[in-house]
């Protein structure tokens, strides 16, 4: 049996150690959701709030608000260039790591520069040239010959031809004398030659007719010419001078100038020709050019641009025939201002019949480029011309190419960088296919996109019709992050609310504002309920900041860029209407509304309405009103949730008040309603009254009839137990008062329902019967009354004044006494004096003055000679009774004049001696010894509690059924890590004691302790080296480990402690789930109410000023001074000391005096605990 008990204890201990860390309790009260969309937690609280002096009656959390952070991502001064009409991708990156998105993109374009060649058809297309094979032959000549253009040697005519030329397979004429001539329909010679050539074309001739003839002096025969085919261009040749955008002009009075399109050197091109003037009527040997003559092609250009930033000219040229002289030159001009020129001699040196490139001729080296362009090109027409010109006219003899100048031009380019607008048709700048909006200033435009971009990269495509477009682009990405409010700094979503005791609603929430480093211009906006009024906004530095909106009727509160300066936790405080008002909330008692006090058997009902200023929220059918009622101990007593009617009203079910489910006191009821954004909360109370009653626990002699006796100056401890009459529960925190002297005094509650006080009878001042009327007062309980009667007496003294030691036989004698009060030494009058003489007729008592009494008695009834004793008893109501033993000797009558009777004399002397000795012994026994015993008794009573505390080595509270220690406190013997084994050992010892000693012997060992609630048993076990005092009550076992046997006081205190402990933790014991944490918190305060365990803790001297004040009053005994000197010596090495240490150091045979001195020093606060 014992092994099983021990094993169970060990297993319980191991189980406790393993699961100690994993056992937790949740004592909060959680209410159900009030609607489908709102989280709703209700916590009843009564703490101070930052808002004034109001306390909080409700607080909880609801659904979060939406908060949008805004920040702009700027990409500035982007240099964008689009060439060849290729698209260009713009890429941007948002802070997707922190869930930022972009809702709007704004592009601002500036300095739009269009670079292009403004010459139309500058690269001429290859024309379709038609060829007709037909032979035209001059097969030798020998006679002189002069051309007749009316009847030429050969004539080629093609109907519809625009240009025509002949292909000479060969020709051969005498140098300087004979010439081949090619002329147009009018006979204007465009080509002449005096050489031998093969495979050569005549120049393109405008018109549809080509005439061929020759000039010869007839001196020598030559071969002539052979034309094998001719070529022409007509309307179907996909070529037209006008279509190419060029026109032609000349200034030449002499000779023939020519122009036209065609193909040369495998390139399609245009040519200008300037021929010399000559006379071939006789012989052709003089050619001349006129000063200022020119032949040019030109193009008029309209440029729809604002201004020119830069420009350049370039072209290709081909010298088919050329006079090698710089008197003639080719040129480029604009608006009649020559921009560039190169002499014909230089051109010929570069090489005839091959293509050359001028290279880019920039604006800054143009000859007359400074003022060529106006500030606004839109209103200016540009005339660009290219040609050949005679700077100085001269006459020439026969030279190469017979002085002909034919220059071909191709790839003519006027490249200009101009300020343009994006919407111009030839620019058509688009982003994502959308047209930009031009501003009033040239070269600037904007466009805005709205969408939701959430991932990287954000790409937008830019396109244009311009061949080369440059611009500066400033882009703003309007970033945002959608978040929610938090009700704490742990990122828990929601908002918190508080309803103050004046029913004001306060909302609080936090926003963790994050500012990505790549963004700027931050702000944020909170979507708030319309009926909210924002009270304050605190930034992360706890400073109040201004805000936009936030008033009742607004839907948002906004923190602008000027104020959104700091990242971190922002705090918002708001208020809103309370939809549950006191005027709409009523209580009924048994159907009668407007009553707030109830008793057992009554029916209580509560009704209210959701309403604010006649405004009833919509969708009430989707919400509920939650009613919770808490008893005076703040335990949930009743709860109910219901949906209000359409008008917002609701009446909750009736509740019957019963004595077994209630306690007296103030019941708090709470009404709470919310739809997620609006709130109604109301808190009030009602009273349920119970009857109460007193049980007297001390003094012990008053338990039967509420009457006690004492002497003036004695202390009377009084203990009461106040309970609920209807359910017998303890009533705590009541006001228990009693009438005393000229004022009202109060009891102090020790443990739950137990009220204690000490009556100082010295305050009453005189003996008598006193009725102490004790009353209880507590809301929720009818007042109880108990009358304690104190029969108060005074200590007295008895003094023998005179008496006879020898009395003659059969004679009378008188003895005198003084019977007086020990309090004021006043004589006690009216006392009853009795003598232990059976017949009262043999003595008389006469009261003299000041408590003096004379008792005369007769010796006639005595049997004869001898020594006799009488007992005198003095009694007076309200005074201590006194007794006196009077011893005397009956002698023979003395005969006068006879010889002395020596035997009688000796006997008389012995009687006197014996009477003196007995008198002295009487004084010692009835005066000195009682006073000494009383002083010793008082000293022992004052020092006993210290001795009891020093005796205690450990305290263990054990759960009796399981053997598990709920609490332990050790000082030497019991080690904390072995407390479970020790508790099992105690359990086994007590079980063995029951088995071995049996019920009878156990009963003998059980001390009888006077308590109103008797213990099951209290036994003391002697283990030779220590003692165990074991007290069982209910489910608890209290074990005190002692060095010595327990005093009666310690046993009584242990029994009282077990009662108080059981009363206060009975509920926790009944619902115990194995956790020890709560007992570690609950038991120590109760233990300290019964045992002065602080005696075992460290002490120290109080401040020097306190000690000095006491010394000045000369209010210290010799023993206190001795102890203080010892403390000073101990305190030299360390500040702390222990009382048992002082008890050993102070040399005094009677240690009670040392203990009494220590108690006095503690009372005077000369030494204090280090824990205070």
Q: What is the mean pLDDT of residues 452-465?
A: 93
Burial of 665 (0-12, 13-18, 19+ CB in 10 A): buried
CA 656 to chain centroid: 45
Other beta carbons within 10 angstroms of residue 707's beta carbon come to: 16
Mean pLDDT value across the chain: 83
pLDDT over 90 at 693, yes or no:
yes
Query: Read out DSSP for 955-1008?
Result: EEEEETTT--EEEEEESSSS-GGGHHHHHHHHHHHHHHHHHHHHHHHHHHHS--
- Cβ neighbours for 554, distance < 8 A, ≥ 6 positions apart: 528, 530
Contact indicator for 808, 894 with CB cutoff of 8 Å: yes
pLDDT over 50 at 760, yes or no:
yes
Helix (H, G, I), strand (E, B) or coil at 1049: helix
- CA-wise closest residue to 1028 among 981, 973, 1083: 973
- CA-wise closest residue to 179 among 213, 137, 219: 213
Range picked from 445-454, 960-969, 979-988, 1034-1043 for highest mean pLDDT: 445-454
pLDDT over 70 at 123, yes or no:
no
Angle CA 1102–1103–1109, to nearest 5:
100
Peptide bond into 457 cis (omega under 30): yes
pLDDT over 90 at 420, yes or no:
yes
Question: Is the entire prediction scored with pTM above 0.85?
Answer: no
Contact indicator for 438, 414 with CB cutoff of 8 Å: no
What per-residue confidence (pLDDT) applies to 42? 37
Q: What is the mean pLDDT of residues 365-381?
A: 87
CA dist 161 and 260 (Å) reads: 13
Q: What is the mean pLDDT of residues 445-471?
A: 93
What per-residue confidence (pLDDT) applies to 523? 95
CA dist 478 and 72 (Å) reads: 5
Contact indicator for 710, 793 with CB cutoff of 8 Å: yes
What per-residue confidence (pLDDT) applies to 332? 95
On the question of a common fold for 708-720+728-793 and 796-930, the answer reads yes
Pick the more confident residue, 262 or 381: 381
What per-residue confidence (pLDDT) applies to 949? 81
- Cβ neighbours for 1069, distance < 8 A, ≥ 6 positions apart: 959, 1034, 1035, 1036, 1062
Report the share of the chain in percent with pLDDT over 70: 83
CA dist 616 and 755 (Å) reads: 52
Domain boundaries, the chain: 81-120+300-482, 708-720+728-793, 796-930, 941-1092, 1099-1169
- Which tokens in the block code for residue 958? 């054990």
What per-residue confidence (pLDDT) applies to 911? 52
What per-residue confidence (pLDDT) applies to 913? 63
Name the helix (H) or strand (E) containing 784.
Answer: none
What per-residue confidence (pLDDT) applies to 527? 95
Going by the DSSP 8-state scheme, the letter that residue 580 receives in this structure is B
What per-residue confidence (pLDDT) applies to 162? 87
Helix (H, G, I), strand (E, B) or coil at 763: helix
CA dist 663 and 126 (Å) reads: 115
Q: How confident is the model at residue 434 (pLDDT cuts 50, 70, 90)?
A: very high
pLDDT, tens digit (0-9, with 9 covering 90-100), for 83-115: 988 999 999 998 888 889 999 999 999 999 999
- CA-wise closest residue to 1060 among 1093, 1082, 1029, 1028: 1082
Contact indicator for 436, 430 with CB cutoff of 8 Å: yes
CA distances from 612 to 551, 670, 771, 853 (A): 18, 18, 59, 91
CA dist 403 and 327 (Å) reads: 13
- Which tokens in the block code for residue 570? 């922002």
CA dist 177 and 62 (Å) reads: 117
CA 720 to chain centroid: 51
What per-residue confidence (pLDDT) applies to 401? 64
Other beta carbons within 10 angstroms of residue 172's beta carbon come to: 17
Least confident of 163-172, 394-403, 491-500, 1154-1163: 394-403
Q: What is the mean pLDDT of residues 440-460?
A: 93
CA dist 1142 and 1146 (Å) reads: 6
- Full strand arrangement of the beta sheet holding 209-215: 154-157, 209-215, 179-183, 189-193
- Exposure string of 673-702, with b = 16+ CB inside 10 Å and e = fewer, is bbbbbbbbbbbbbbbbbbbbbbebbbbeeb
What per-residue confidence (pLDDT) applies to 568? 94
- CA-wise closest residue to 794 among 820, 771, 772, 821: 821
- Full strand arrangement of the beta sheet holding 785-793: 707-711, 785-793, 768-777, 735-740, 743-746
Name the helix (H) or strand (E) containing 389.
Answer: strand 381-390
CA distances from 614 to 89, 343, 502, 649, 823 (A): 61, 102, 20, 12, 78
CA distances from 159 to 234, 828, 978 (A): 9, 178, 134
Pick the more confident residue, 900 or 10: 900
Q: Which CATH superfamily is domain 796-930 in?
A: Immunoglobulins (2.60.40.10)
Q: What is the mean pLDDT of residues 256-266?
A: 80
Contact indicator for 964, 980 with CB cutoff of 8 Å: yes
- Full strand arrangement of the beta sheet holding 812-821: 796-802, 812-821, 852-858, 843-847
Q: What is the mean pLDDT of residues 348-357?
A: 93
Other beta carbons within 10 angstroms of residue 187's beta carbon come to: 15
Q: What is the mean pLDDT of residues 620-628?
A: 90
Q: Please give the span between the terminal C-alpha atoms of the chain, in angstroms, as a whole number.
A: 48
Q: How confident is the model at residue 570 (pLDDT cuts 50, 70, 90)?
A: very high
Q: How confident is the model at residue 48 (pLDDT cuts 50, 70, 90)?
A: very low
CA distances from 1001 to 92, 996, 998, 1007 (A): 97, 9, 6, 12
pLDDT over 50 at 1001, yes or no:
no
What per-residue confidence (pLDDT) applies to 988? 59
Q: Which CATH number fits domain 708-720+728-793: 2.60.40.10, 3.40.50.300, 1.10.20.140, 2.102.10.10?
A: 2.60.40.10
In the block, tokens 């001729």 appear at 361
What per-residue confidence (pLDDT) applies to 921? 52
What per-residue confidence (pLDDT) applies to 1172? 65
Name the helix (H) or strand (E) containing 1153.
Answer: helix 1151-1163
pLDDT, tens digit (0-9, with 9 covering 90-100), for 154-165: 999 999 998 899
Query: Read out DSSP for 1054-1107?
Result: HHHHHHHHHHHHHHHHHT--S--HHHHHHHHHHHHHH--GGGGS-EEE--HHHH
What CATH topology corresponds to 941-1092? Beta-Lactamase (3.30.450)
- CA-wise closest residue to 320 among 279, 263, 277, 280: 263
Residues shown for the chain: 1172
pLDDT, tens digit (0-9, with 9 covering 90-100), for 842-898: 899 999 988 899 999 998 888 888 889 999 999 988 888 999 999 899 998 866 554
Contact indicator for 428, 318 with CB cutoff of 8 Å: no
Pairing of strands 592-593, 586-589: antiparallel
What per-residue confidence (pLDDT) applies to 1047? 87
CA dist 344 and 272 (Å) reads: 14
Least confident of 5-14, 615-624, 729-738: 5-14
Q: How confident is the model at residue 522 (pLDDT cuts 50, 70, 90)?
A: very high
């Amino acid at each position: 049996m014992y092994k099983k008990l021990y094993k169970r204890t060990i297993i319980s201990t191991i189980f406790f150690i393993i699961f100690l860390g994993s056992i937790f309790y949740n004592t909060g009260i959680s209410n159900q959701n009030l609607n489908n969309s709102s989280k709703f937690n209700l916590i009843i609280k009564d703490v101070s709030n930052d808002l004034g002096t109001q306390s909080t009656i409700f607080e909880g959390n609801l659904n979060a608000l939406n908060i949008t952070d805004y920040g702009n991502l700027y990409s500035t001064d982007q240099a964008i260039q689009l060439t060849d009409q290729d698209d260009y991708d713009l890429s941007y990156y948002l802070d997707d790591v922190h869930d930022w998105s972009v809702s709007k993109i704004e592009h601002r374009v500036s300095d739009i520069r269009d670079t292009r060649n403004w010459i139309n058809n500058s690269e001429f297309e290859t024309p379709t040239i038609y060829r007709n094979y037909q032979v035209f032959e001059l097969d030798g000549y020998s006679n002189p010959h002069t051309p007749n253009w009316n009847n030429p040697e050969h004539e080629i005519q093609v109907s519809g031809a625009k240009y025509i030329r002949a292909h000479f397979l060969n020709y051969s004429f005498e140098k300087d004398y004979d010439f081949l001539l090619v002329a147009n329909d009018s006979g204007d010679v465009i080509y002449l030659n005096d050489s031998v050539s093969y495979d050569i074309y005549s120049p393109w001739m405008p018109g549809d007719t080509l005439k061929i003839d020759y000039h010869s002096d007839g001196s020598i025969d030559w071969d002539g010419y052979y034309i094998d085919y001719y070529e022409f261009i007509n309307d179907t040749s996909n070529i037209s001078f006008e279509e190419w955008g060029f026109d032609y002009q000349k200034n030449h009075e002499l000779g023939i100038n020519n122009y036209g399109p065609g193909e040369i050197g495998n390139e399609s091109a245009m040519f200008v020709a300037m021929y010399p003037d000559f006379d071939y009527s006789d012989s052709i040997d003089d050619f001349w050019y006129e000063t200022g003559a020119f032949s040019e092609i030109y193009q008029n250009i309209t440029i729809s641009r604002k201004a020119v930033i830069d420009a350049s000219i370039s072209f290709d040229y081909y010298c088919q025939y050329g006079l090698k002289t710089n008197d003639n030159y080719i040129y480029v001009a604009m608006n009649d201002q020559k921009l560039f020129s190169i002499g014909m001699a230089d051109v010929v040196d570069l090489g005839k019949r091959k293509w050359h490139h001028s290279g880019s001729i920039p604006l800054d080296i143009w000859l007359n480029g400074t003022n060529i362009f106006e500030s606004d090109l839109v209103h200016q027409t540009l005339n660009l011309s290219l040609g050949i010109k005679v700077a100085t006219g001269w006459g020439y003899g026969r030279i190469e190419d017979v002085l002909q100048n034919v220059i071909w031009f191709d790839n003519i380019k006027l490249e200009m960088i101009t300020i343009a607008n994006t919407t111009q048709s030839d620019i058509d700048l688009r982003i994502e296919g959308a047209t930009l909006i031009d501003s009033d200033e040239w070269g600037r435009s904007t466009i805005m996109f709205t969408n939701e971009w959430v991932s990287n990269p954000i790409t937008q495509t830019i396109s244009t019709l311009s061949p080369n477009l440059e611009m500066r682009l400033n882009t703003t990405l309007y970033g945002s992050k959608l978040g929610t409010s938090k009700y704490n700094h742990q990122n828990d979503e929601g908002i918190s609310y508080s309803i103050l005791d004046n029913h004001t609603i306060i909302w609080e929430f936090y926003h963790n504002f994050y500012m990505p480093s790549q963004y700027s211009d931050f702000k944020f906006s909170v979507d708030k309920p319309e009926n909210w009024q924002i009270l304050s906004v605190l930034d992360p530095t706890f400073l109040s900041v201004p805000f936009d909106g936030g008033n009742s009727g607004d839907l948002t509160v906004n923190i602008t860029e000027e104020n959104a300066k700091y990242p971190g936790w922002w705090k918002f405080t708001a208020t809103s209407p309370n939809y549950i008002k006191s005027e709409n909330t009523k209580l009924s008692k048994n159907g009668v509304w407007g009553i707030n006090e109830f008793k057992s058997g009554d029916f209580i009902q509560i009704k209210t309405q959701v309403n604010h200023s006649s405004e009833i929220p919509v969708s009430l059918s989707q919400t509920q009103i939650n009613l919770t009622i808490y008893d005076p101990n703040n335990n949930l007593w009743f709860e109910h949730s219901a949906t209000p009617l359409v008008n917002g009203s609701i009446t909750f079910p009736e509740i019957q008040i019963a004595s077994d489910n209630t306690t007296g006191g103030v019941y708090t009821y709470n009404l709470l309603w919310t739809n997620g954004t609006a709130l109604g909360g109301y808190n009030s109370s009602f009273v349920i009254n119970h009857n109460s009653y007193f049980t007297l626990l001390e003094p012990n002699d008053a338990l039967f009839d509420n009457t006690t006796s004492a002497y003036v100056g004695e202390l009377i401890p009084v203990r009461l137990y106040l309970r609920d009459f209807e359910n017998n529960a303890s009533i705590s925190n009541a006001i228990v008062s009693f009438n005393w002297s000229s004022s009202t005094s109060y009891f102090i509650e020790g443990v739950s329902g137990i009220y204690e006080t000490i009556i100082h009878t010295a305050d009453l001042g005189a003996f008598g019967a006193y009725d102490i009327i004790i009353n209880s007062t507590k809301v929720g309980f009818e007042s109880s009354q108990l009358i304690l009667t104190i029969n108060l007496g005074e200590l007295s003294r008895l003094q023998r004044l005179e008496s006879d030691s020898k009395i003659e036989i059969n004679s009378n004698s008188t003895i005198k006494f003084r019977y007086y009060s020990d309090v004021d030494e006043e004589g006690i009058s009216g006392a009853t004096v009795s003598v232990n003489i059976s017949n009262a007729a043999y003595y008389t008592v006469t009261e003299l003055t000041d408590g003096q009494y004379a008792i005369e008695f007769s010796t006639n009834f005595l049997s004869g000679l001898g020594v006799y004793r009488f007992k005198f008893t003095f009694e007076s109501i309200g005074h201590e009774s006194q007794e006196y033993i009077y011893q005397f000797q009956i002698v023979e009558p003395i005969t006068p004049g006879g010889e002395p009777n020596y035997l009688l004399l000796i006997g008389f002397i012995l009687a006197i001696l014996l009477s003196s000795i007995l008198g002295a012994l009487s004084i010692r026994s009835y005066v000195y010894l009682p006073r000494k015993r009383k002083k010793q008794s008082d000293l022992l009573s004052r020092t006993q509690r210290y001795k009891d505390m020093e005796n205690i080595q450990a305290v263990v509270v054990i759960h009796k059924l399981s053997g598990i220690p709920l609490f332990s406190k050790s000082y030497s013997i019991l080690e904390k890590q072995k407390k479970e084994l020790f508790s099992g050992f105690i359990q086994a010892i007590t079980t063995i004691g029951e088995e071995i000693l049996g019920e009878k012997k156990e009963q003998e060992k059980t001390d009888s302790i006077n308590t109103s609630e008797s213990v099951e048993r209290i036994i003391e076990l002697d283990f030779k080296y220590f003692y165990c005092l074991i007290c069982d009550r209910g489910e608890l076992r209290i074990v005190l480990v002692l060095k010595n046997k327990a005093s009666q006081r310690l046993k009584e205190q242990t029994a009282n402690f077990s009662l108080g402990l059981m009363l206060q933790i009975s509920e926790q014991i009944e619902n115990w789930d194995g956790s020890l944490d709560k007992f570690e918190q609950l038991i120590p305060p109760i233990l300290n109410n019964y045992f002065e365990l602080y005696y075992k803790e460290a002490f120290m001297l109080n401040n020097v000023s306190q000690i000095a004040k006491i010394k000045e009053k000369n209010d210290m005994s010799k023993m206190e001074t001795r102890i203080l000197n010892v403390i000073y010596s101990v305190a030299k090495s360390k500040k702390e000391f222990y009382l048992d240490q002082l008890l050993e150091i102070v040399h005094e045979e009677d240690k009670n005096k040392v203990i009494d001195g220590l108690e006095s020093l503690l009372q005077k606060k000369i030494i204090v605990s280090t824990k205070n």
